[in-house]
Structure formats: structure tokens, C-alpha cells
Structure 1
Amino acid sequence: MCRPAARFVLLLALLLSPVLASATPCGAPDDLIEPVPLPATAAAVANRVLPVLVVGSASVAGPGGSGADSAYPAQLEALLARSFPGTRVEVVAQGGRGMLAADHLALIRTALGQRRRALVLWQAGTVEAVRGADIGEMTAALQQGAERVREAGGDLILLDPQWSRFLRANADVEAYRDALRAAAAATGAGLFSRYELMGAWAEAGTVDVERAPRELKVVEVDKLNRCLAQSLAEMVAQGVAEARR
């Protein structure tokens, strides 16, 4: 290969390397982000307005971080706006500490009654696992919520429990993860595995909130929220691309 051509190939590789690196946000293995087609989200992007509803427990507000802007829904809004230039992205987060899937269901019904949302992100299972709540009740709420989202013409992505050594040691978290997987499969919803992603990041030393020194805890929580937002944005972007095909 002649030198000019070689220099061109090297320059191209350098230019592409950040893009390739971003394909697995925070070093997450490719197979832990499993996109599904998101037709309602794709249509909203085509219309230049993407309204998103995030529902969950305390983590939707980013407790332990540096502020509301560091919570993953707020960071997700900025990342989606970057992924879809020219689209007005509006991410609204609702939820609070100790809320169960049945409580989330009420929030979803109210929110969708007020305005259509092209995409609903619903995190569930952590509070249920901690309390040992009835899995059947959680499943019923998830199914009813998925039906309501579908009736309203939106897409749904379920987020499973967050990973922690404490939760793994003191709760039957796998039973709730299995129920979320089954609910996603039965309703056609996407499933974003926070549990596996957070576990992979902790094992790799990328993000580990539990083992962070006290003086760095806030920094680590912010990093976790950033990684979750990046991974969710990647899943949504891939889902839109699949819908367009």
C-alpha cells in the first residue's frame, strides 16, 4: 500500500475509533443490550417530537447523586436529543421511594390519560424483591400497564432490578427478574437488564457504588447514572433503526 493510502486508512481508523468505542457504553458487553423494534418511537422521531415517560422507584430521581440533572432520565434526555438531531425530546420521570409496580401502573394510567407518550420506560422489581412482594401481583400490574401503553400507541421498555451484592445476598431477586423477562416476552415489550449491566460494570471495576469510598460515593452514583443513560440511549437508537428497516 502506498504511503498516502496508508495514511488515509490510519486517519480513518482514528476518526472511527470513538464511534466504535461508544457502541458498548461504559464497556458493557454487546449481548447485554438487546434492542427491539420501537415503531412508535421511530414515528415520533420522524415527526420531530419524542415524548418519553420514565416510571420507577427512587432511582428515577437520582438519589445519592449530585442533583436532579445527574439522574439517568435527565441525562437520557440530552443523549436522545444528540442521537436524533432536530427532534425535541421531552423526558418526564415519575416515581418515588418504595413504590411497587401497582403504584407505577396508576402513574402510567394518569400520565397517558393526560398526554400520549411515544416511549415508556418502566423500572420494576427492586422494591418487590426487597419486600418479598407477591410476584403475581407485580406480573398483573406489568401486563395491565403494557396493555395501556399499547392502547395509547406507545412503545414499552421494562427495566429489571438494580444489581447490588446486598440485594443478591438478601432477596430472591432472580424470581423477580424471571417474572420481568416473562412479562416482556408475553407483551412484546423490550427488556433492559440493569441487573446484568451493573453487575458487569462492578466486576470490571468500571462502576461500583457499593465499594466506592465515602468521599467518592456521589461521583460514583453520577457515573452509574451516566452509564445507564448511555446504554438506554443506545438501546433506543437501535430500536428506532430496527423499526425503520
Structure 2
Amino acid sequence: MRRLAKRLVVAMQAGALLALLAAPARASICDVPPELVDSPVPLEATARGLRRGVLRVLVVGSASVFGPGGSGPDAAWPGQFATRLREGWPGLRVELEVRGARGMMADEMLAMILAVTTPRPHLVVWQAGSVEAARGQDTDWLARRLNTGLEALRERGIDAVLMDQQFSRFMRANSDVDSYRDALRMAGSVHGAALLQRYAMMQHWAESERIDIERTPRERRVAATDQLHACLGRALARLVLDGAADAGAPSPDNAQRPGPPQSDAAPRP
């Protein structure tokens, strides 16, 4: 009986090992459907910065740019984005500037963007539409400010990435959030700006029970918020690096070492 029992245990252990080896690798908590991060928008100024080994990035937005509810500003998505860029492009120096405030709306963000002088950023990441949706601001008002800012960036040879709202069941129930998402999507399409679909990503993570801030117990909410921002930073870095590759940036393995400083002015047409 003991021998039989021992053989059964060994057989069960072997079966468990075979099942483990045969099982597919566990998906990353940050994974999203490919269509949410695939961007056909070439980021030419970003590609120039990558080739030279220095990328200047300006992030403009409302409260989320500083990571409220998380463990601190370093864990917010702009810092996580910069970290992922460095990992994806070894040797890259990322000069990151973050501007914004709780309750800030698109007109104040536009003023910050229009005030940009030298040294110009290669890339502006503009998170907009959240406060407008929460306050019921007219979508045409938002669209006019987005159009003005994106046109100004394009004229100066600066790449732009828009980021839409956070997913929230409360906001979805109390505002026409899709109309604000459409305003950002349309503005990006007209002016050649990429769009990070934060709302759709967060909805995917919540509905697949990976990251759901609204339903996370209070004692685990800081860790969940940090995880959310890490995933957003990862997705944004992928979108930006893919856009730079579409603009002709070499892969990091083939990238040359940074040469002497050169002008970052966009080539004249």
C-alpha cells in the first residue's frame, strides 16, 4: 500500500509539472488589446531626439500627472513613462518637465503650451478632457483649445501625444464622457497627434479584474494606483517608441552613440 501511495504521489507531481510546462505564460497585468496601443502616427521630432541620445518631454495635464492616491510623484505615470523610455532606449537621457494642477482645464494648459520657448521639447504629452467632462464644459470649447495648441506645436516642429480621460463608472454614469473622448480623437486625427487611449485601457484592466481602483479595498489602493500608473507609463513609452520608429528612428541596438549637440529645429519644408 505504501508503494502504491508513493507511486500515486509521484504520478500526481509529474502530472502537475507537465501541466505547468504546457500552460501558456501568464499574461502581464499591463497587457491590453494591440489596437489600443498601435499608433500609425510618426513622431519625427522624437526620432531626432532619440538619435541624438537626449529626449526633452513636456507633460501637461490635471491632477493625474502628479499621481494622487499613489505613493508619490515618482510613481506617477510621467515618471514611469520616462523610466520605460530609458529601458527601451539604453543610454537615453530623458529631460522631463511636468506641469499641471488639480482642476486645471484646457485653457490653462493651452497657455502653458503656447509659452514654450527654448529649449523646445521634442514631445508634448497633453492629458486633457477629464475636468471638462466632470464639469460638463462644452465639447466645442474643448475642441477649439485642443486645435489651437496642436496647431501651434505642429508649426514649431514639436510632436504631440494626447491622453484622454481615466475610466470611471461614476463619471460614465454622470456625464457624456464619450463626447469628450471623441473631441480628443478628432483633434488628434486632424493635427497628426497620437492618442493614448487611457479610458479604454483602464476599462479593459477593470473589466478583466486586473486593476480596478474604484473597487480596490482602501488598504490596497495605493499599491493598485502605483500599478496603474506603471502600466500607463509602459503603454505610453511603447506608443512613443513605435511612433519614433515609424519616423525612421533606428532600433536601440543599431542606434549610434550621441554625437555633438545639434540644432533641434525642424527642417524647413
Residue pairs, 1:122-137, within 5 angstroms = 122-137=126-141
Superposed CA deviations along residues 90-124 of structure 1, whole A, max 9, x for unmatched, are 121110111111110011122x2243010111011
Which of 30, 37, 49 is the matching residue for 1:33?
Answer: 37
Deviation of residue 126 (structure 1)?
0.8
Q: How many residues in Structure 1 have an aligned counterpart in Structure 2? A: 226
Which of 57, 61, 66 is the matching residue for 2:66?
Answer: 61
Higher Cα Rg: structure 1 or 2? 2
- Show the counterpart of 2:160: 156
If the length of structure 1 is used for normalisation, what is the TM-score?
0.88
- Show the counterpart of 1:169: 173
Deviation of residue 151 (structure 1)?
2.3
Which of 56, 76, 85 is the matching residue for 1:71?
Answer: 76
SS at match of 2:124: strand
Residue pairs, 1:67-146, within 5 angstroms = 67-110=72-115, 112-146=116-150
- Show the counterpart of 1:10: none
Q: Which aligned runs of 4 or more in structure 1 are off by greater than 2 angstroms? A: none
If the length of structure 2 is used for normalisation, what is the TM-score?
0.80
Q: Distance in 2 between matches of 1:165 and 1:30?
A: 24
Q: Does 1:200 align with 2:204?
A: yes
**1:135 is matched by which residue type in structure 2?**
T
Unmatched 5+ residue regions in structure 2? 1-20, 250-269
Identity %: 49
- Show the counterpart of 1:42: 47
Greater helix proportion:
1
Deviation of residue 34 (structure 1)?
2.8
Q: Distance in 2 between matches of 1:79 and 1:92?
A: 16
**1:51 is matched by which residue type in structure 2?**
R
Deviation of residue 135 (structure 1)?
1.2
- Cα root mean square deviation, aligned: 1.8
SS at match of 1:27: coil
Tell me if structure 2 keeps the 8 A contact 1:39–1:243: yes
Q: Does 1:224 align with 2:240?
A: no
Q: Distance in 2 between matches of 1:234 and 1:227?
A: 11
Q: Distance in 2 between matches of 1:77 and 1:127?
A: 25
Which of 142, 146, 151 is the matching residue for 1:147?
Answer: 151
Deviation of residue 27 (structure 1)?
1.7
Q: Distance in 2 between matches of 1:34 and 1:163?
A: 20
